[in-house]
Every structure is written in C-alpha cells, then in structure tokens.
Chains A and B, each alone.
Chain A
Amino acid sequence: MFFTVSLYVALAVFGLGLVYKTSTWFRYSIGIEAEKIPTSVRISAGIKGIAASVFSAKIATLIKVFVLDVILQIKILRQDFLRWLMHICIYIGFILLLLMHALDNFVSSALFTDYYSTINPFMFLRDLFGAMVILGVAIAVYRRFILKVPRLETNAMDYYAIIILAVIMISGVLLEGAKITSYTEFQIMMEDYAGLDDEAAIEALESYWAEYFGVVSPNVKAPFDEDVLSQGQEIHEESCMDCHSRPQWAFAGYAVAKISKPIALALDRAQSATILWYIHFLACFIGLAYLPLSKMFHIFASPLSLLANAVMQKGKSDPANIATRQIMELDACTHCCTCTLNCSAGVFFEHFPNTNILPSEKILSIKYLAAGKPLSADELRHIQEGVYLCTNCSRCTVACPAGINLQDLWFNVRESLLQKGYPEFFALSPLSFYRGLMKEDADKDTYQKPLDQAREAIADTCELMKIQDKILSLSGIDPGFKAGLSRSDQADTFLACFGCETCSTVCPVVASYDNPRAALGLLPHQIMHSCGLGLKDLALGSNMLWYCLTCYQCQERCPQGVSVTDILYELKNAAVEQVKERSNQEKPK
C-alpha cells in the first residue's frame, strides 16, 4: 500500500516537473532578439521544425548523431576514456536495471515467460548491471574528489547526483545480501512453497539452504550431516530449485551476505531487509520525483540538444526555434565541466576571482538569468565579465558532450547584459574583435553603446581631463604614481623622454585624424610627459590609450629608448584598476 501510494506520488511529481521544465523551454528566453518572440510562436515553430527535420533528408543526420553521440557517446570518448567508461557504465547499467529489474512486471515478464528475478541469467545480470553503475559512480567520485583536476568545479547538484545514485545502488546490493542471509525470508518462502510440517524435513531443507544458499539460521549449524543435506536437497529440488539459482551468481549481494554472516541473525531480527527495501524504493522514488529539477534531467535534454544542434544552424533555422533550443540547452548541461577543461580562457580564473570565467559555471549563472531570478548588480557584473572574458575560440562548443552551442549562448547573453548599463572594461580589449566580426548579427542601435560607456566610465575618474582651460595646478600630482608604474620591466623608461614627439609623429592612430587632440585627448608624447610629471589623471584619461594599436612603431623609433607602447599598456592597466577601485569605494557598505 505504502509502496503503491509513494510510487504514484513520485510519478505525479515527476510528471508535473516534466511539464514545468518543458514549458520553460518555450517561456524563457536568452538574448535581445529571443525576448521578442512570444511563447505561442515558439511552440508552433517547434512543432514545424521537428516535423520538417524528421520528414526530410535530415533524418539520416539525426540517426547518425543518435547512434554515435547519444548511444555510444563518442564525444566523451574523444575527451577521456575514463570518463567515457564512467558514463557508459552508469547509463547503460541503470537503463538495463530499470527495464529488467524495476519494471520487471512490464518488461522482463513480458519478454521472458520463465522470468524469475532469482534465477539465472536474470539474477546474475541484475548484479552485473548494478556493479556497472557502482563502478561508474566510483569513477565519478574518484574524478571529482580524488583527482582534483584544476578548475573542475563540483557543486551541490553534482553531490546530489552521486549520492542518490550511490544510495539506490548500495541499498539494492545490501538488500540483496540481507535477503540471502535472512532466516525470516527463508521461513516465509518455505511456508509458501514447500508447506512442510515434518520437523526433520524442515531441518533438512534449512541445513541445505544454510550450506549452499547462505541462509543464516538460528537453529542449525555447520558442519551438517551428509544424510540431512541429501534429504534437504531432495526437498529443495522439489520445491525451490525451479525459482532459485545458487546465490553466488548474485555476486555483489552474495559478497555482502558472506561479509555480514557473523551479524546476520541480529540484522534479520532488526528487520534489516524490510528497512533496506524501504530505503531502496524510496530513494528510487525520490530520484524519480526530483529528476526533472535535478541535473538528471539531462537524460532527456542532452539527447535533444545533440539532435537539435546536428540539424540546426544560426542564420538558417527559425530564430524562434533557436530561442527554444538555447533554453533547452541549459537543461542539457550536466556540469561535466568538459567545456571548462577545454576553455582557452579558463587560465584567467587563476588570476581573476570570478567563477563566471569558467564556461561550466557561466552556464549555471545563465540558468538563473534566464529564469528571471533577481540578481544583484555585482552578480550581473560578474556574469558580464565572465561572458566577455572569452576568446570565442569555440573549443567549448566543439567539445561539449551534450552538443550545446555554448558560443552562441555566450554571444546572446553578452549582448543582452551589455545593455544593462554596467561598463565592461574588457570591451576595450582585443576580446572585442569577435564582437566586431559579428556586428551584423548584433543590434545596430546598441552596438556602440558599451564601448562608449566603458571609455566614459574610465575618463570619468580622471578629473584633470575635464578642465577646459588646461592651466593645471600642481595639485594634481600623484607622487606615488611614477613609482607605481612598474608592471612591465621597462615601464619607468618614460623618465628618459625629452619631448621630441617622434612617438606621436610615427603613430598611425594620430595620423588617422585631422584633429587628433579632439579625438584622442593626449597624444603619446604628451602622455609620456604626464607620466614624468606624475599627472596621473592626464596619463590615464585619454582615448589614446584605448585606440592604441600596440603596433610598437613609437617604441621602436624612440631615440631615447622609451618603451612607449609598454607604458601605454601599463597605463591601461592602471586606469582599469583605478575605475574598479572607485566603484568599490562608492558601493554602500
């Protein structure tokens, strides 16, 4: 009764969760363009898209991807054999257990007329599949907690997944072990199937089962008399043998039975088999009910993501379907961290303390963002920095075993976050090269805004730049500034500048403007001079810094050996540092 009720409750929660999660695929959106597409349009586009893919030549691609990437998981194999073994063991083992063992009334019994869970090959196979899952979970634990791969992050959801699987599997094996040794179980079975009244016959069967089937009896003890055993064997062959293979075949449960033998009687009296049975099926039902909200939901979403990405292409597929796919992809993520381990920019996490630099963590933040969770300004800034600090090398997308198009995800999130108005200083770096290449895909009206915003935020911290008459008092001198310019080995070479203007004369940026002062602020030689005077604001506040090509013409030509380009680099660093410090100070404590 309790079993049935809890099963139906779990199924109902699972069903509701499934409906809820699937609905978010059509309701949530990522990116400026996706927000404009209503849910109804996305649902109908989705149906059309699926139909169009299935009933076309694309079906061949879908079948190929299903076999190679979904079933055989070649993408994981390409990354790492151990991880492939881990995942194959868990998912093949679990699916087979689900079909053969959990759903035995519907599957095994229907397929095999002589199915009994306690006879071979079923008894052996159940343990084999269980052992596969346990091996997989053990590898997962080893990978996450013992190997300690740098930048491989483990979160609560990963713990949950490992724990729920471990509880289901271990409780199952223990339950099997407890049932093998259980005298209570033996008695029930004997009454139901053997119907013995004769004391001697009962003793004979009990002895036989204690000797060969691992039952721990309070009444009989080895060594047994040969005659008793042969009498027991007769009864066994008559009443039990048809449904029972030798317990050694259930090697995992049998091992537990062997180990627990000394305490088996006490365990049996404490009803351990019943308790373990409750733990086992409740853990299964919790796993089932919570599945749609846990990372285990990937068992539905990841294959869909792999298949969808195999036949969809930006620019060709319906934007409504791409919007839907991008939300589905968030559920397809298993937090396996393949992306992070392949990330070209992951190394920067060792220097900037922002987990959003790592793609596997970025995607978690994007889940919150898509779900409309209220995020603080700091959190948004961190996500924005994380998506910007990306070299757009596509390695994450190529490697993702769930087929998620991460690069497109970053692009859309980047563009929509940039419009929130937090200045992104990385926009003033060559990381923007890709954004420039993609500008035809971006909103024309909003493309320029983040670039201006970042420059203005920096210039805003430089008071002296705002003085119009340019008669400067000496109060702007920052005595620590000169000494502070020391990041590069040659930054202090500005001291040798004698103002010949060669740097500004050879600068191709300066040469590109009719009125360079208006466009660039201070020119290179003036910036060198400002450094010499300790006029920090002037040195840091010019557009020249951000428009510098780093072509090193100035540095190469300087007759005094001033490392002009390197100093400009250094000043850019200092300017960003200064604006970040200011914004931290302004934050309410």
Chain B
Amino acid sequence: MKFALYIGCNIPARLKQYESSARAVLRKFDVGVTDIREFNCCGYPVRNMDHTAFVLASARNLALAARENLSVISLCKCCFGSLKKADHLIKENAALRAEINRILEKEGLKYDGDIEVKHFLSVLFHDIGIKTLKEKIEKPFSDLKIATHYGCHVLRPSKIVQFDDPVVPSIFDQLVEVTGARSIDWPMKLECCGAPVWGINDDLSMRLTEKKLADGDKAGADYLCTACPFCQMQFDTVQQMMRSGRSTDLQLPSVLYPQLLGLSLGIDRDLLGLEMNRLSLQGIEDFVRVPEAVET
C-alpha cells in the first residue's frame, strides 16, 4: 500500500502533532506514504470567492498525484471534501476540465479524474481494517467515553464524498471503539464544529461550538475525538480562547484520532504530541487498562 500524503496548510503550521501521530500510525501498519512537495492549497478557502480558482487548486494537487500514479490520503476533512468535489467536477464537466487542463499544461500537468482520494479514517477502516487494527492494540482503554465528531465535509454531500452513511455513519465510531474506548451516543454528533465561520462571524462560530461542547458533556463524554485540523483547532485552540472570553466552566478537551489510537497501539507519546494540544490530555492515559488487571 502506498499513498501520497496530503497534509494541507493548517497541519504543518499549527497542528504538527496530527501529522506526526498519523504518520506513526500508518508506519505501524506498513502503509507507505510519499510526500509531494509541490502540493498546494486544496482550494477550499477560496471557494466562497471563485469556483474556478477552487477547482484549479484542487485539480493541480490531483494532477501531481496522478503524475506519481498514487492515491491521495487527506488528513483534513475540508481538504478531502474539496478534492473529492473537484475530482467529481473534472469528471463530469468537460468544459471545466479543458479550462483547468489548459492552465495545468503550463507546468506539464494534466488531470482527467482518475485518482482516488481517501480520508485518513477510510484508509484505517477499509485498507487496514478493524481486525488488523485490533491485533496491534497493546494498551486498550477502559471506561473512556469518547464523543466522536464526524465532521461535515467527510459525510456530506454524500453522493460525492461517499465516506459513510450520511445519516447513520459508523466508521469513526468503530475506529474509536477499536481502542477499547466507548463511542457514546450524542445528539449533535453529526453537526458542524463552527470552524468554517471562525474569523468571519466569531459569535456564531462560538455558539455552534458551545452547543456541541454542552451536548457532548451532557452525554457524559470525557473527550471529543476529531480527525480534521479545522475541527480540532476549533475544539482545542478556539475552545481555549472562548474560555478566556466567555463565562463558561465547561471544558471538553479534544483528542485527535491518531493520538487516541496511537496511545492504545503503544506508540511513543512524543510522536503523538500529546503535550502540543492546548487543552490538556493529561488524564487520558489514566484510562489505559493495566495489562495485569486484564489477567486477573
């Protein structure tokens, strides 16, 4: 198995622990990843302004992967959604495809829609598989209640992203439960984290985040779990900023999925970057079941 790893813009700048933990997990299961240095922005941030610019940016990434004949793993759900959407448009819309390829041609690139784009979670679930994951679990959690946050752009529009059932998805829950943790039911599981309007309408963004935090807390979650830099920064950095600006005692820290899985796989905690999260993950290791206790 070999993929091109698409880390996007936020992760290398602000969420390095996501990259290092995801790489460590993939290595553990012998999933080879190639880094394509020329990868650029997925286009998601300019989609509000200009459709063609968005498709161009995504298509260039796909063309670069196509040149290496590699499928793409995205760690970010917004990048994933954008790449999938652009791939779909390029396949469906011949005029757009020609327009984009005319620009890409200047760099000797071309994209006709033949590259598979996968989210990191899909690779774990479909390519590695729950069974293989389970075999490598060394330090399972017990009594750890996780509020699994799916993230919008991996689920919807379902016809295009085709990640999981958009109404009753289960992939992420199953992946969380592999670690021994319990993926709890919480009504707002599939709702937006609020990140897309952070910086545009902060008040609205915080309302959405607060609602989710309150809901997760009410459902008894110990931690949120994400697999997207936007969602993670919203629940980590922005939650921390919210606490300083708002009157709320509620704190529900968020753990990145490869950090959670990595702990149960016994991966070196430095690689998982637990200390790099803004809201402390200190307590999470207390939920690791002591091996002796299992035997007795």
Contacts and interface: CB of A to CB of B under 8 A. Distances in A.
Interface stretch (A60-68, A84-92, A409-417, A428-436): A428-436
B53 interface: yes
A474 interface: no
Nearest to B108: A150
Contacts of A351: 50, 52-53, 56, 103
B294 interface: no
A424 to B, nearest CB: 11
24 contacts: A344-B40, A346-B40, A347-B41, A350-B56, A393-B10, A429-B45, A429-B46, A431-B45, A432-B198, A434-B199, A435-B199, A437-B237, A437-B238, A440-B241, A451-B200, A489-B89, A551-B192, A551-B196, A552-B152, A553-B156, A555-B156, A556-B158, A570-B51, A573-B48
B157 A508 contact: no
Q: Lowest 5 CB-CB distances: which A-B pairs, in order?
A: A436-B199, A432-B199, A552-B156, A393-B9, A391-B9
A430 B44 contact: yes
A487 B48 CA distance: 12
Interface string B140-175: 000000000000110111100000001000000000
A546 B56 contact: no
Interface of B: 8-10, 12-14, 37, 39-41, 44-53, 56-57, 60, 78, 88-89, 92-93, 103, 106-107, 152-153, 155-158, 166, 191-192, 194-202, 204-205, 207-208, 211, 230, 233, 237-238, 241
A346 B40 CA distance: 8
A434 B230 CA distance: 10
A437 B241 CA distance: 8
Given A352-B53, A430-B45, A439-B202, A394 B12 contact: yes
Nearest to B198: A436
Contact of B200 (A343, A350, A391, A546): A546
B191 A347 contact: no
Main secondary structure of the interface of B (DSSP, over half): helix
A113 interface: no
Given A347-B57, A351-B50, A393 B152 contact: no
A509 B44 CA distance: 20
Contacts of B157: 552, 555-556, 563, 565-566
A436 B14 CA distance: 13
A25 interface: no
B295 to A, nearest CB: 46
Given A393-B10, A489-B93, A569 B196 contact: no
Nearest to B107: A150
A391 to B, nearest CB: 4
Contact of B50 (A509, A555, A573): A573
A549 B192 contact: yes
A407 to B, nearest CB: 8
Contacts of B49: 425-426, 429, 572-573, 576
A106 interface: no
Contacts of A566: 157
A348 B53 contact: yes
Interface in A391-425: 391-395, 407, 425
Contacts of B10: 391, 393, 433
B192 A348 contact: no
B239 to A, nearest CB: 12
B199 A433 contact: yes
A350 B89 CA distance: 19
A270 to B, nearest CB: 48
A547 B233 contact: no
Contact of A508 (B14, B191, B202): B191
Interface residues on A, range: 35 or more
A512 B207 contact: yes
Contacts of B198: 432-433, 436-437
A125 interface: no
B9 A344 contact: yes
B40 A347 contact: yes
Contacts of A429: 45-49, 200
Contact of A392 (B13, B155, B201): B13
A427 interface: yes
Contacts of B14: 437
Contact of B51 (A434, A437, A439, A487): A487
A569 B51 contact: yes
B49 to A, nearest CB: 5
Contacts of B166: 556
Contact of A393 (B13, B207, B237): B13
A547 B89 contact: no
A550 interface: yes
A137 interface: no
A546 B106 CA distance: 34
Contacts of A150: 106-107
Interface in A228-251: none
A351 B107 CA distance: 14
Contacts of A187: none
A343 B8 CA distance: 12
A370 interface: no
Contacts of A487: 51-52
Contacts of A344: 9, 39-41
A439 B203 CA distance: 13
A389 interface: yes
A508 B208 contact: yes
B58 to A, nearest CB: 10
